[in-house]
Amino acid sequence: MLPILIELTYNLALLVALSTVSGFIGDRFPGRRGALLQGLLFGAVAVIGMLNPLILAPGLIFDGRSVMISLGGFFFGPLTAAVSAAMAITLRVGMGGMGTLTGVSVILASALLGLFFYRRRDKLKREVTTSSLLTFGLVVHGAMLLLMLTLPWPLSLDVLKRIGPPVLLIYPLATVLIGKILSDNLGRARNLAALKKSETQLKQAQSLAHLGSWELELPANRLYWSDETWRIIGLRPQKEPASYERFLKVVHPEDRERVNHAYRESLREGHEGYEVEHRIQRPSGEIRQVLGRCEHERDTSGRVLRSLGTVLDITDLKAAEEHLRRVSEELRQRNEELERFIYSVSHDLKSPLVTFKTFLGFLRQDQRAGSRENMEKDMNFMAGAADKMERLLDELLEMSRIGRLDKAPTRIELRDLVEAALAAVAGSIAERGVEVRSELPELCLYGDRLRLERLWQNLIDNAVKYLGDQAAPRVELGVEDIAGERIFFIRDNGLGIDPRHQRKVFGLFEKVNPKSPGSGLGLALAKRIVELYHGRIWVESAGPGQGTCFHFTLPDALKVPEEPRS
């Protein structure tokens, strides 16, 4: 029995060594491709064992094929079991001898039992344990010994006596040993896959959050940056070694000293880390806003052993905050404007109503007195009050419509636009004898023609209205290009505006001279139209009697609109 035991042990030791290759396949080839390769491996190991068998009699051989084929099915399923069993059966049939049928039966039984336990384990979701492997090994090799009864009698009994004890002693233990190797390999493969998945998810999460991480081991001065940290600072991952000096180079020059001080100060005893907001200047020149945080790990003496930190790209957040601040400020101004608007509307509408009511009373008195002349005067005053109210309501309606663009932009020649605006106020220009100087380039605008025409019309009308009494009144219209920006202007040599009043001229119902004609809505309308095209408007005047110049921009009206997609 001892020689048989030694022979079988040697045979199975070879199988254990070759089975470790299975872990290599499992790490690199998942799915059906891996199952196929596992089948080829287990079949090859079984074949190697069959080529170095324990020979009890001519044509009667024993080896470890039952262990490998059953374990292949147990761990990797049908494809592995089928491939390995087919390889072993092919060789066994080729070897021939009296035990061929028994050998083929053992191979098929091992494969089928492996698949049975594979399905059972998969259904019950149980972990592979030492006891389950031992049970599996005993069942497989118990079946193998029962199949020895297919040998001619009394040879079958002799074989069972000689091979039974060593098989039941060695093969189940070999099944446990090789099974634990395979189980550990699979567990390691699962852990490796889970680790890779976690790393991928972490990278995706950092990318989505624009949050990079870094780790610095101070004694060894080893610095690690995550891929997102490299991206935030504008460098390619791993192209160059990470270092604190390299990081400081990409910090904006104006923030560099402050950031370096924050880090160096945090290394002092009693500090757990730092948090600092600063700018990054990428090699491309792009500037990003980031928030850096750091925490230190110290030994018992307080010396920093390791620093862990994050870099959060807050550029978009800062832009959103700035946009929100501007919107809030605009809403505040709109609310203040609305309050003034309500007050002014109440006051301005009340004035013609008071006039109308007053002269209605006079009309009744004059009617009773029979004074037709006074009645005519009363009705003229009432008609004037009604006309004033109508103009005011029309302008208020126009103001309410300015806030949106309803029409698709059209192409407009600037010169045609200005000529139409001048024609609209030609009566006032002729009455005052105003000289109009217009030096306009060939330029096309894109937008709502009526609104853009109203913009120039209001500004020209305002200029003519405040020219004052002088011998040579003049209005100039033109375009200037300053610092890459196209600026339109309307300049006059009229009364001018005191610098103290220049900021309020665009307010609703605001008039520098309360006694001047008009409702005070003309410049407010002009400002709304300019803002509709994301432009700005401002006034310049050296003071009373020095003339006035209105400047404005229309960036959106200078853009060629995109063709609608079909």
List the CATH number of the domain containing 475: 3.30.565.10
Residue 180 within any structural domain of the chain? yes
Q: Is the pLDDT score of 285 beyond 80?
A: yes
Position 550 scores a pLDDT of 94
Q: Is the pLDDT score of 344 beyond 60?
A: no
Q: Is the pLDDT score of 92 beyond 80?
A: yes
Position 221 scores a pLDDT of 80
Residue 489: strand, helix, or coil: strand
Residues 306 and 450 in one domain: no
Give residue 225's domain range: 210-313
The confidence band for 563, taking pLDDT boundaries of 50, 70 and 90, is low
The distance in angstroms from the start CA to the end CA of the chain is: 89
Position 356 scores a pLDDT of 74
Position 117 scores a pLDDT of 92
Where residue 230 sits, what CATH number does that domain have?
3.30.450.20
Position 60 scores a pLDDT of 47
Q: Name residue 497's amino acid.
A: I
Length of the chain equals 566
The confidence band for 483, taking pLDDT boundaries of 50, 70 and 90, is confident
Residue 564 within any structural domain of the chain? no
Residues 23 and 160 in one domain: yes
Residues 347 and 291 in one domain: no
Say how far apart CA 365 and CA 1 lie, in whole Å. Answer: 146
269 vs 343, residue with greater confidence: 269
- Which of 291, 313, 335 terminates a domain? The answer is 313
Residues 416 and 510 in one domain: yes
Residue 566 within any structural domain of the chain? no
User: What's the token pair of residue 230?
Assistant: 């490299």
Q: Which range has the worst mean pLDDT, 170-174, 235-239, 329-333, 518-522?
A: 518-522
Residue 237 within any structural domain of the chain? yes
Number of domains in the chain: 4
Residue 381 within any structural domain of the chain? yes
Residues 359 and 450 in one domain: no
Where residue 339 sits, what CATH number does that domain have?
1.10.287.130
1-40 residue pLDDT tens: 444 444 445 455 555 555 566 666 666 676 788 888 888 8
How distant, in Å, are the alpha carbons of 19, 524, 534, 537 from that of 555? 74, 19, 6, 12
Contact 466, 431 (CB under 8 A): no
- Which of 260, 295, 313 terminates a domain? The answer is 313
122-156 residue pLDDT tens: 887 778 889 999 999 999 989 988 988 888 888 88
Position 565 scores a pLDDT of 46
Residues 530 and 510 in one domain: yes
Say how far apart CA 554 and CA 556 lie, in whole Å. Answer: 6
Please provide the DSSP assignment of 496-514 as one string: ---GGGTTSTTSTT--SST
489-521 residue pLDDT tens: 999 998 888 777 666 677 655 555 544 454 567
Residues 419 and 512 in one domain: yes
Residue 565 within any structural domain of the chain? no
Residues 118 and 185 in one domain: yes
Residue 139 within any structural domain of the chain? yes
| Stretch 272-291: mean pLDDT | 89
Q: What angle do CA 172, 48, 22 make, to 5 degrees?
A: 65
Q: Is the pLDDT score of 83 beyond 90?
A: yes
Residues 171 and 272 in one domain: no
Q: Which long-range contacts (CB under 8 A, 24 or more apart) does 325-328 make?
A: none
Peptide bond into 154 cis (omega under 30): yes
Where residue 65 sits, what CATH number does that domain have?
1.10.1760.20
The confidence band for 236, taking pLDDT boundaries of 50, 70 and 90, is confident
Residues 244 and 148 in one domain: no
Say how far apart CA 221 and CA 535 lie, in whole Å. Answer: 53
The confidence band for 114, taking pLDDT boundaries of 50, 70 and 90, is very high
Residues 9 and 122 in one domain: yes
pTM over 0.85: no
Residues 172 and 250 in one domain: no
346-373 residue pLDDT tens: 655 666 677 778 888 888 888 888 888 8
Residue 563 within any structural domain of the chain? no
- Which of 266, 293, 313 terminates a domain? The answer is 313
